[in-house]
């Protein structure tokens, strides 16, 4: 049965998080198709991975036989994260926009799993693995909007996940999530609700389709 690597990075728990609500809908639909499958779950807000250290970074470019004790210990943590990615048949990432970009906890995970000569380079080890990113945001940064040029989530993750790691990338984008909480955005609440409902439906539909494709 297929393995799903599910990563959440929102600071907020449960339904208080727009991205978590959508990743949960995706995961539920996935598990309905794969009740005996495996889900590897990482909640980076609750259990953040260590920011990459100098020892872990330099170890990636050195012969393991030459590693110091510190390099060996720190690099082992990177390898565990890389192996989770490599084992996954599909990846699901909750990536809310904080201050125009991804949470630092998600950046730390990426810094650990990006390893030239293994996950990145001429033959990326997870090449072609489908990855669905739920890129929620409080406003709208869509093409044609006033803040289009401030969109550093999809642009960055496309560069890293698709261009760098050679994953098969797809986005679900719930937007205007601050509308119910910001009086200045009250008139945008219907647009937020439509975006939320569309994202939840996309998550369920895409998870089911992906599960069926991998099972074929």
Residue-wise pLDDT for 64-98, tens only, equals: 889 998 998 888 999 999 999 999 999 999 999 99
pLDDT at 64: 87
* Enclosing H/E stretch for 23: helix 18-33
The answer to whether the beta carbons of residues 117 and 55 sit under 8 Å apart is no
pLDDT at 1 over 80: no
Write down the mean pLDDT value for the chain. 94
* Enclosing H/E stretch for 70: helix 69-87
The pTM score is 0.95
């Amino acid at each position: 049965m297929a393995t799903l690597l599910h990563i959440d990075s929102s600071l907020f728990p449960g339904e208080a998080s727009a991205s978590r609500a959508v990743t949960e809908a995706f995961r539920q639909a996935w598990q309905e198709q794969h009740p005996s499958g495996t889900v590897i779950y990482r909640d980076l807000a609750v259990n953040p991975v260590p920011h990459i250290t100098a020892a872990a970074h330099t170890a990636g470019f050195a012969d393991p036989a030459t590693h110091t004790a510190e390099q060996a210990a720190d690099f082992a943590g990177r390898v565990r994260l890389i192996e989770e990615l490599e084992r996954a048949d599909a990846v699901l990432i909750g990536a809310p926009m904080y201050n125009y970009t991804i949470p630092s906890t998600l950046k730390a995970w990426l810094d650990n799993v990006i390893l030239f000569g293994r996950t990145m380079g001429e033959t990326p080890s997870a090449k072609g693995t489908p990855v669905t990113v739920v890129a929620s945001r409080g406003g709208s940064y869509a093409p044609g909007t006033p803040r289009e040029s401030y969109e550093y989530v999809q642009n960055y993750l496309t560069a890293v996940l698709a261009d760098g790691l050679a994953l098969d990338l797809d986005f679900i984008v719930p937007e205007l999530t601050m509308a119910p909480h910001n009086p200045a955005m009250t008139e945008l609440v219907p647009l937020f609700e439509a975006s939320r409902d569309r994202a939840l439906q996309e998550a369920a539909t895409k998870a089911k389709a992906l599960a069926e494709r991998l099972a074929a």
